[in-house]
């Protein structure tokens, strides 16, 4: 494996995430306090948390947590679930288990950087770009054309980060079928599932569609609980899950016991939490519509299909990189410029930025943004 490059997003966040006054590019939904989450617990789980021994836990994850996770799928059992310390560990280990020198992977762009750079450190990779001129459409023919006899993996993310795109269920099902009939693992990042603006557009989970597909999820994004650091992969190929567990022995070994109980509580209450977060996004969207309508000469705005980030185009002459730098330095408003989503696999737009729509109390950030734009212009 070749050395991985710096993680652009995390490097940028290490400079600004906790120093900028207004974090307007958050990728997670509004979080809650420990007390608020415990209020959602049933008596059994509340007692389990209060009397929890702080010893090692099972490498695969707490059996009761895995049972709850399995219940969120149509065709999975607890034995088909493996828990990790967040989605990043799961993604990293899955790529290392599935791919080797001489293999080939197909990765849809734009994406979370590790979805591209980890496979690239292991094998040959072909990118297939969502088309910004066609509402970020995915060309299944392009995916098919990219597949080789050595292809072991196709990696996708819907609802997409950063574009918010959700493809049709028919296209997603066809993609799964295309991979399955060729013996290819479909790796599906589903961390924003449940935050679709139109729930009728919620995609099936890949692990429900075919046995060798892997569904990645986490408590961080749709549930808004990144502090728990609990992610999971669901896959009905149990031999593969066994290999993934053995790989985990070299990283975290096991998860945090308190976090696993809290994740269990959150997943049992997921209907309530997701309804709250969708309502917050629905409440926030008119604020963004009003903001971008006022500055229509500077921005091309489109609300996302799902998730809690959007990817508007910046139309100003000086370019989005200078724009975002001046905005955070002068107004304390943090956005993510297009360079964060640069791809070595495909051409990528250079005039866009990521903005978050899932946090509470965004009015102050948008007001500071508006004031700065008026003064700056």
8 Å CB contact between 62 and 205: no
Residues 371 and 223 in one domain: no
What would the mean pLDDT of 256-273 be, rounded to a whole number?
A: 98
* 119 shares a domain with 68: yes
Kindly report the CA angle at 267 between 222 and 233, in degrees rounded to 5?
Answer: 75
Q: Give the residue numbers spanning the domain of 353.
A: 8-33+271-376
Residues 93, 228, single domain; the answer is: yes
- Please give the average per-residue pLDDT across 277-287, as a whole number: 98
For residue 1, is it within any domain?
no
Average pLDDT over residues 326-355: 97
Is residue 234 located within the same domain as residue 247? Answer: yes
86 inside domain: yes
Q: Give residue-wise pLDDT tens across range 113-161.
A: 999 999 999 999 999 999 999 999 999 999 999 999 999 999 999 999 9
pLDDT for 377 beyond 80: no
- For residue 376, the model assigns a pLDDT of 81
Backbone angles phi, psi at 132, to 5 degrees: -65, -20
Please check whether residues 130 and 214 belong to one and the same domain: yes
Closest alpha carbon to 152 in 93, 92, 99, 206: 99
The answer to whether residue 3 is domain-embedded is no
Distance of CA 84 to the CA centre of its chain: 15
Identify the residue with better confidence: 283 or 377.
Answer: 283
Q: Check whether residue 19 and residue 101 sit in a common domain.
A: no
355 found inside a domain? yes
Indicate whether 220 and 263 sit together in one domain: yes
| 264 and 277, same domain (yes or no) | no
Per the domain annotation, does 106 fall within a domain?
yes
**In the numeric block, which tokens belong to residue 18?**
């906790």
Shared domain for 200 and 342, answered yes or no, is no
> CATH no. for residue 178?
3.40.640.10
Q: Which of 236, 269, 302 is the last residue of a domain?
A: 269
Q: What's the rounded Cα separation, in Å, for the pair 202 and 132? A: 21
Are residue 313 and residue 236 in the same domain, yes or no? no
Q: What percent of the chain has pLDDT over 90?
A: 98
Residue 67 maps to a domain: yes
pLDDT confidence bin for 273, thresholds 50/70/90? very high
Distance separating alpha carbons of residues 211 and 202, to the nearest angstrom: 20
Same domain, residue pair 136 and 171: yes
| pLDDT confidence bin for 206, thresholds 50/70/90 | very high
Q: What's the total number of domains in the chain?
A: 2
Which two tokens mark 295?
Answer: 């500055």
Q: Are 112 and 135 in contact (CB under 8 A)?
A: no
- How would residue 104 be classed by pLDDT, with cut points 50, 70 and 90? very high
Domain final residue, candidates 213, 245, 269: 269
- 341 within domain boundaries: yes
Last residue of a domain, one of 244, 269, 294: 269
* pLDDT value for 2: 80
For residues 311 and 25, is the Cβ–Cβ distance under 8 A?
Answer: no
- For residue 189, name the pLDDT band (cuts at 50, 70, 90): very high
Residue 299 has pLDDT above 80, yes or no: yes
Question: What are 189's two structure tokens?
Answer: 């990042």
Are 108 and 188 contained in the same domain?
yes
Q: Over pLDDT 70: what percentage of the chain? A: 99
Structure token pair of residue 220 = 């961080």
Q: What is the pLDDT of residue 370?
A: 97
Q: Is residue 2 part of a domain?
A: no
Contact predicate 217/193, CB 8 Å: yes
CA dist 209 and 203 (Å) reads: 11
């Amino acid at each position: 494996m070749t050395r991985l490059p710096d993680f652009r997003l995390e490097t940028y966040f290490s400079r600004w995430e906790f120093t900028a006054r207004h974090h307007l590019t958050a990728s997670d939904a509004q979080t809650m306090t420990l007390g608020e989450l415990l209020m959602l617990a049933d008596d059994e789980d509340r007692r389990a948390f209060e009397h929890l021994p702080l010893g090692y836990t099972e490498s695969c994850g707490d059996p009761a947590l895995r049972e709850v996770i399995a219940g969120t799928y149509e065709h999975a059992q607890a034995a088909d679930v493996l828990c990790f310390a967040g989605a990043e560990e799961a993604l990293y280990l899955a790529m290392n288990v599935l791919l080797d020198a001489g293999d080939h992977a197909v990765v849809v762009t734009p994406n979370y950087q590790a979805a591209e750079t980890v496979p690239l450190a292991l094998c040959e990779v072909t990118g297939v770009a969502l088309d910004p001129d066609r509402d970020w459409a995915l060309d299944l023919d392009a995916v098919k054309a990219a597949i080789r006899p050595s292809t072991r993996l196709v990696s996708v993310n819907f609802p997409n980060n950063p574009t918010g795109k959700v493809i049709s269920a028919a296209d997603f099902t066809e993609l799964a079928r295309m991979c399955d009939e060729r013996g290819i693992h479909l790796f599906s990042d589903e961390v924003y599932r449940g935050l679709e603006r139109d729930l009728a557009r919620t995609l099936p989970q890949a692990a429900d569609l075919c046995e060798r597909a892997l569904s990645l999820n986490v408590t961080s994004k749709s549930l808004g609980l990144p502090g728990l650091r609990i992610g999971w992969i669901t896959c009905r190929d149990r031999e593969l899950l066994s290999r993934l567990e053995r790989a985990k022995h070299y990283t975290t070994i096991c998860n945090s016991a308190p976090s696993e109980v809290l994740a269990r509580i959150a997943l049992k209450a997921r209907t309530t939490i997701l309804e709250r977060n969708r309502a917050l996004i629905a409440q926030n969207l008119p604020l963004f519509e009003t903001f971008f309508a006022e500055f229509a000469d500077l921005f091309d705005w489109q609300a996302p299909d799902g998730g809690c980030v959007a990817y508007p185009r910046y139309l100003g002459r000086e370019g989005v990189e200078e724009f975002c730098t001046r905005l955070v330095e002068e107004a304390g408003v943090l956005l993510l410029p297009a360079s964060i989503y640069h791809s070595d696999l495909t051409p990528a737009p250079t005039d866009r930025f990521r903005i978050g729509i899932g946090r509470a109390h965004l009015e102050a950030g948008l007001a500071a943004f508006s004031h700065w734009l008026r003064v700056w212009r």
